Structure 1
Amino acid sequence: MKSLSSLCLLALCASAAFCKPTSEKKDRVHHAKDLGEREPDDQKGFQFDHEAFLGKEDSKTFDQLTPEESKERLGKIVDRIDGDQDGLVTSTELTAWIKRTQNRYIDENVAKHWKEYDLNVDGKVSWAEYKNTTYGFYLDEEFSDLEDKASYKKMLRRDERRFKRADKDGDLIATREEFTAFLHPEEFDYMKDIVVMETIEDIDKDGDGMVDLKEYIGDMYSPEDGQPEPDWVKNEMEQFKEHRDINKDGKMDHSEVEHWILPGDYDHAVSEAKHLIHESDRNEDNKLTKQEILDNWNMFVGSQDGKLSREEFLENYTRFVGSAVTDYGELMMVKHDEL
């Protein structure tokens, strides 16, 4: 999004800019979840795993720690995950932990925004409160020369549509649950249509209400002059042709986009737990000891250097270049962009 045209305007709108519209592309609803999908070029990296296991904010904290501090804190987390204290972390326990991490992120995110928008402190957020706090400055006629005014008007319409859908009783006043549905519609079944609709609007460039292959790839990848096309782009093209475009008409319609970004039979927490266990389970008993997790600590948590020594890499060679990418490629690429 373009920046404001002067430092004066930036200073004046600082408080309003803190309350970002939900419709900015980087906050597209199906990208907003912590547990969505690995970035296409992060298949061999651990950032997705860190955020899934720790949450986005805690993952940033761990990135500032030394490897020793990260391992020490990870050990304490493992003790919390092991609910029955039998010394083994099962898939069920790890899944429960990841889900709690995801829910904590949502709760904290809603709580933060709640304070920003509940201006009269009545325990509810009205559409007027949200609109005035988020868009009041940007749409003020006094600043009609604002370059982004048209963009903000478009986002306002989208936010109003989403707010009204989340507002079950239609009084334009959101309860805590309704406001959560507004900020995180992907978590609520009755908001699915909005999630799909906004996704199509963001990707559909020719305005036909569907997503073709060019639009699908273009939303993920912008070619650079002289740079070879990454292999993952070719893989995504095949994914589109073989799995996304179900009726093979060259485009994804509303139902196909829904199947892509909100697959009903896919549980992100379960798949991530299975992935972490698969990558760390040395004795292949489908459970993890505390030592197995600590031995593969770099996958679970980050550290200040974020690097592995030569000895660490060689010790964990099979985990890093083995079957993980191919086995979990489709599993983790259910949708191409998300505690």
Structure 2
Amino acid sequence: MLLKIVYITALVGIAAAAVTKKDRVIDHKLSDKTPGSPDYDSEAFLGAEEAKSFKDLSDEETLKRLGTIVNKIDKDENGEITEEELVAWILFTQRRYITEDAEKQFSTHDKDKDGKIHWDEYKEVTYGFLNDESIQQQEQDSFSYQQMLERDNRRWKKADQDGDMACSLEEFQAFLHPEEYEHMKDIVSQETMEDIDKDKDGFVSLKEYIGDMYNPDEGGEEPEWVETERQQFTEFRDKNKDGKMDLEEVKQWILPDDYNHAEAEAKHLIYESDDDKDGMLSKEEILNHHDKFVGSQVTDWGDALTRHDEF
């Protein structure tokens, strides 16, 4: 039964569980590297996972494969890469892992192979092993499959934008990774509130906020960061200074308004590589500044080039 619980938890992909215990903030930075560094630029341009394996190519092979990538980015095939095209590519590479995860799970859940996952199909695959006895036992153990099912159903309805109780691949992707979609952000905030609001009064108190990150019952000296988080709560999280966070304040905490990382990176790459200062990048300009796009190490472009990704 424990293995089944682990399986379901992983499958549901609740956004609040996707972040570490000490930090629920969903950060859409393009890389963990220093912004503006070659490694940051390459991870932003290629995606972090692909960038890790890009090494040991000759200069000739690097330029050849980079040229192929440029051709993919140039959607209108006019020989110039605009800021919009570069932003679209960066977002594509950053979301690739999400798409792959959704595609894998989609094939498992789409039992009738009609190109959609109906709610009943999802429910059967995810919760079909449950029976009255297992549900009753888990309720006694303070773990509620019924609550999980209701939470999934609520998220499903939000992701199902056309209201047919069936998810296309894109809708299923939003269901699995709601933090990546604007229309799903209220669900992410609501689920986070439900996780932290232990007394169910509709607010997050300072005690609940700290308790989500640190359990004093574990013993030992309190880490310094706990006091810092208390100050963060008082000075920044609780914006209306009523001693607690409401749903909107929770949303601003975990999904902070931030500048567009992809747009900022595209502007940076163009600024650094646009030799004729026309606001766009030619293939020649990108190849001349290939170090800005592949980082400090030349890399293996094979995965990005040979896979049949839609872009």
Mark yes or no: TM-score above 0.5: yes
Q: How does 1:1-339 map to 2 (within 5 A)?
A: 4=2, 20-23=11-14, 25-27=16-18, 36-37=28-29, 42=32, 44=34, 52-55=44-47, 59-66=48-55, 68=57, 72=62, 75-76=66-67, 79-80=70-71, 83=74, 85=79, 91-137=83-129, 139-141=130-132, 150-168=143-161, 171-213=164-206, 215-216=208-209, 219=212, 225=220, 229=224, 234=228, 240-262=233-255, 266-273=259-266, 290=287, 292=289, 294=291, 297-298=294-295
**SS in structure 2 of the partner of residue 20 of structure 1:** helix
Q: Is the 8 A contact 1:38 1:48 kept in 2?
A: yes
Structure 2 CA distance for aligned equivalents of residues 282 and 247 of structure 1 = 46
Q: Is the 8 A contact 1:54 1:301 kept in 2?
A: no
> TM-score, normalised to structure 1's length?
0.58
**SS in structure 2 of the partner of residue 270 of structure 1:** helix
Evaluate the alpha carbon distance shift between residue 275 and residue 255 of structure 1 in structure 2; reply closer, same or farther with a 3 A threshold: farther
Evaluate the alpha carbon distance shift between residue 118 and residue 214 of structure 1 in structure 2; reply closer, same or farther with a 3 A threshold: same
Structure 1 CA distance for aligned equivalents of residues 98 and 110 of structure 2 = 18
**SS in structure 2 of the partner of residue 193 of structure 1:** helix
Gaps of at least 5 residues in structure 1 are 5-9, 304-339
**SS in structure 1 of the partner of residue 102 of structure 2:** helix
Structure 2 CA distance for aligned equivalents of residues 69 and 31 of structure 1 = 42
Per the TM alignment, residue 262 of structure 1 is displaced from its structure 2 partner at its CA by 4.4
Per the TM alignment, residue 114 of structure 1 is displaced from its structure 2 partner at its CA by 1.7
The amino acid that maps onto 2:251 is E
Q: Is the 8 A contact 2:54 2:298 kept in 1?
A: no
Structure 2 CA distance for aligned equivalents of residues 117 and 91 of structure 1 = 38
Q: C-alpha offsets along residues 277-301 of structure 1, whole Å, 9 cap, x if unaligned?
A: 78x7899x89885455516844899
The amino acid that maps onto 2:165 is L
The amino acid that maps onto 1:201 is E
Q: Is the 8 A contact 1:19 1:116 kept in 2?
A: no
Gaps of at least 5 residues in structure 2 are 301-311
Structural RMSD (CA)? 5.1
**SS in structure 1 of the partner of residue 12 of structure 2:** coil
Structure 1 CA distance for aligned equivalents of residues 95 and 263 of structure 2 = 14
Q: Is the 8 A contact 2:57 2:298 kept in 1?
A: no
**SS in structure 1 of the partner of residue 45 of structure 2:** helix
Evaluate the alpha carbon distance shift between residue 111 and residue 237 of structure 1 in structure 2; reply closer, same or farther with a 3 A threshold: same
Q: Is the 8 A contact 1:53 1:98 kept in 2?
A: yes
Evaluate the alpha carbon distance shift between residue 301 and residue 204 of structure 1 in structure 2; reply closer, same or farther with a 3 A threshold: farther
Structure 2 CA distance for aligned equivalents of residues 299 and 228 of structure 1 = 37
The amino acid that maps onto 1:97 is W
Q: Is the 8 A contact 1:49 1:300 kept in 2?
A: no
- What is the aligned length? 280
